[in-house]
């Protein structure tokens, strides 16, 4: 594969020709000085196809069914972002990371592949303003090793694994050391699974030992987004030091870091938050059904965005055992599944790709976009969290989503099954 220099690459970029692919870790791409990165960020207009995607598929962190799903997802994603008639420039800064990506692309018949060494780049790079809200596994390992990694204030930390249900065999079998499992039932109330009352949420913090002084690190063992919903519950309450592990527990396992087994006893705060000075609540993250109706009445200012899977949006299935109704909200735009907003390894997708996805679904990026899911808003919260990482605040969550909307008989719905994606 031919290697090019910076002058060659800049000339190609001026002509708008190459697809530029950052093959390093997503963490390095978004701004972390990780994996040997000497400067923050990525080449402008680059997309991320990380060598770690292949480790995610090959290092026994997925079930056979999920592995096959992810392999198809990767194939579809490659065909989506890399046209066969374009030259493709792969870059890293160690002459190694690009090799797995190169081999995979060649196996698919891509021929116009070039290589660039990022260490030879002297122009400016781009990184996301709030990349530090999404942390790599190496950052958490540093905390556990007693170090003070960048963007940590040294005032203590706690780690929580977020999921639905009490401690289960998965958590008991393996989790990040010192982490405590949080059942989403503790901060969401049935049957719609929206956030509990403010008083109950403060009790949730007290019971789980969550103070406003310490850094709170969240992750999940799945890919449904429970940790992102909990992150915004904390942000809603005014917590300013919330971090989420980019890629979840698989990112930890891929690094080969130690794990703990068995039950972990929760340690309560030992005092009532109501007896202390509390930060101001931020009500702007979530809207309810009445507010969603108002959004639909003003399509020139805001947009209600359906972030469910195509099968759910098309009225083929509700997607949930506890939701009988199938269909969609008239006037809401399907923005693609929340899975489309993340990479194969459940890390954050590049801003350029997400913006392209939004435009593909005819979303006005100048609007406030209110995303919703089938229930609880986990996937929508993940999209909102990514938007914050990018430095944007125009994405919010209709928390009750289809579950809440369809529970009101007077709310209009469309139930005709669709066969072609918009």
146-180 confidence digits (pLDDT tens): 999 999 999 999 999 999 988 888 899 999 999 99
CA angle 354, 121, 350 (to 5 degrees): 10
Sign of CA dihedral 328, 330, 334, 339: negative
Q: Both tokens of residue 195?
A: 């956030």
What is the average per-residue pLDDT within 185-189?
Answer: 96
Q: Which residues contact 107 (CB under 8 A, 6 or more apart)?
A: none
φ, ψ for residue 311 (rounded to 5)? -60, -35
Question: Do 295 and 370 contact (CB within 8 A), yes or no?
Answer: yes
User: What's the confidence (pLDDT) of residue 37?
Assistant: 87
CA proximity to 314, closest of 337, 342, 340, 294: 337
Residue 80, C-beta contacts closer than 8 angstroms, at least 6 positions apart:
none
Residue 195, pLDDT score: 96
**3-state class of 320 per DSSP?**
coil
Output the average pLDDT for the chain.
94
What pLDDT shows up at residue 65? 86
* Helix (H), strand (E) at residue 352: helix 351-360
- Residue 383, CA distances (Å) to 102, 308, 324, 341 in order: 29, 12, 26, 7
pLDDT confidence of residue 359: 96
Query: Quick one: pLDDT band at residue 67, thresholds 50, 70, 90?
Result: confident
Predicted pLDDT at 88:
97
Average pLDDT score over residue span 86-103? 96
Burial class (CB in 10 A: 0-12, 13-18, 19+), 409: exposed
Residue 244 has which token pair?
């989420």
Nearest-angstrom CA–CA distance, 250 and 246: 10
Contact present, 371 and 384 (Cβ < 8 Å): yes
- Average pLDDT, integer, range 64-74: 89
Question: Residue 61: its pLDDT value, please?
Answer: 73
Beta strands in 87-151 (DSSP E): 88-92, 113-117, 134-135
In terms of DSSP bridges, do strands 368-372 and 395-398 run parallel, antiparallel, or are they unpaired? parallel
Say if CB 375 and CB 406 are below 8 A apart.
no
The token pair that represents 199 in the structure block: 């008083």
Residue ranges of the alpha helices (H) in 82-224?
98-107, 137-144, 169-173, 198-208
Assess whether pLDDT exceeds 90 at residue 17. no
- pLDDT reading at 227 higher than 90: yes
**CB 148: neighbour CB atoms within 10 A?**
10
Q: Which of the four pLDDT bands, split at 50, 70 and 90, describes residue 98?
A: very high
pLDDT per residue as tens digits for the range 370-396? 999 999 999 999 999 999 999 999 999
Contact 246, 199 (CB under 8 A): no
Indicate if the pLDDT at residue 45 is higher than 80: yes
Rounded average pLDDT over 336-364: 95
**Mean of the pLDDT values across residues 53-82?**
88
Average pLDDT (241-260) is 96
Contacts of 297 (CB under 8 A, 6+ apart): none
* pLDDT for the residue 35: 82
pLDDT of residue 391: 97
Span 203-223, mean pLDDT?
A: 94
Say whether pLDDT at 21 is over 80.
Answer: yes
Q: What percent of the chain has pLDDT over 70?
A: 100
pLDDT for res 124 = 94
How confident is the model at residue 66, as a pLDDT?
86
Cα–Cα distance for residue pair 259/144, rounded to 1 Å: 12
**Residue 280 in this model has a pLDDT that exceeds 80:** yes
Q: How confident is the model at residue 344 (pLDDT cuts 50, 70, 90)?
A: very high
pLDDT at 111 exceeding the cut of 90: yes
Least confident of 67-71, 185-189, 378-382: 67-71
What is the pLDDT, as a whole number, of residue 189?
Answer: 94
Q: Taking the model in full, what pTM does it have?
A: 0.96
Give the helix ranges, DSSP H, for 82-121: 98-107
**In this predicted structure, what is the pLDDT of residue 167?**
83
Contact 74, 107 (CB under 8 A): no
pLDDT of residue 36 exceeding 90? no
Task: Single out the residue of 386, 399, 381, 22 nearest to residue 225, CA to CA.
Answer: 381
Could you tell me whether strands 188-189 and 194-195 are parallel, antiparallel, or unpaired per DSSP bridges?
antiparallel
The pLDDT value recorded for residue 166 is 85
Query: Long-range contacts made by residues 387-392, C-beta under 8 angstroms, separation at least 24?
Result: 388/130, 388/133, 389/30, 389/128, 389/129, 389/130, 389/131, 389/133, 389/134, 389/348, 390/128, 390/129, 390/130, 390/351, 390/354, 391/128, 391/129, 391/130
């Amino acid at each position: 594969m031919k290697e090019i220099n910076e002058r060659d690459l800049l000339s190609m970029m001026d002509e708008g020709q190459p697809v530029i692919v950052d093959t390093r870790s997503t963490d390095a791409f978004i701004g972390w000085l990780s994996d040997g990165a000497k400067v923050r960020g990525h080449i402008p207009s680059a997309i991320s196809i990380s060598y770690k995607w292949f480790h995610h598929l090959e290092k026994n962190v997925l079930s056979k069914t999920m592995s096959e799903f992810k392999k198809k997802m990767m194939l579809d994603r490659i065909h989506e972002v890399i046209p066969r008639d374009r030259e493709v420039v792969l870059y890293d800064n160690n002459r190694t990371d690009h090799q797995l990506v190169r081999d995979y692309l060649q196996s698919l018949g891509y021929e116009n592949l070039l290589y660039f060494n990022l260490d030879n780049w002297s122009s400016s790079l781009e990184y996301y303003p709030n990349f530090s809200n999404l942390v790599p596994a190496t950052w958490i390992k540093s905390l556990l090793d007693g170090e003070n990694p960048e963007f940590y204030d040294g005032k203590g930390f706690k780690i929580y694994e977020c999921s639905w249900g009490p401690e289960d065999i998965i958590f008991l079998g393996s989790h990040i050391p010192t982490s405590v499992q949080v059942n989403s039932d503790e901060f969401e109330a049935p049957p719609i699974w929206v956030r509990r009352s403010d008083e109950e949420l403060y009790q949730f913090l007290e019971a789980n030992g969550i103070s406003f002084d310490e850094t709170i690190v969240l992750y999940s063992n799945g890919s449904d987004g429970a940790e992102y919903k909990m992150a915004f519950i904390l942000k809603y309450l005014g917590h300013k030091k919330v971090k989420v592990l980019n890629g979840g527990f698989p990112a930890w396992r891929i690094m080969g870091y130690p794990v703990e087994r068995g039950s972990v006893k929760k340690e309560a705060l030992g005092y009532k938050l109501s007896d202390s000075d509390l930060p101001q609540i931020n009500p702007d993250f979530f809207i309810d059904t009445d507010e969603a109706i108002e959004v639909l009445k003003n399509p020139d200012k805001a947009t209600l965005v359906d972030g469910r899977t195509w099968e759910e949006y098309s009225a083929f299935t509700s997607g949930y055992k506890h939701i009988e109704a199938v269909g969609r909200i008239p006037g809401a735009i399907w923005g693609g599944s929340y899975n489309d907003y993340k990479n194969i390894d459940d890390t954050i997708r590049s801003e350029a790709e997400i913006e392209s996805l939004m435009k593909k679904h005819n979303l006005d990026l100048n609007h406030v976009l209110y995303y919703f899911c089938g229930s609880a808003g986990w996937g929508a919260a993940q999209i909102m969290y990514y938007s914050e990482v990018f430095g944007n605040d125009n994405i919010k969550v209709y928390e009750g989503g289809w579950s809440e909307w369809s529970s009101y008989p007077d709310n209009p719905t469309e139930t005709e099954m669709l066969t072609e994606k918009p």
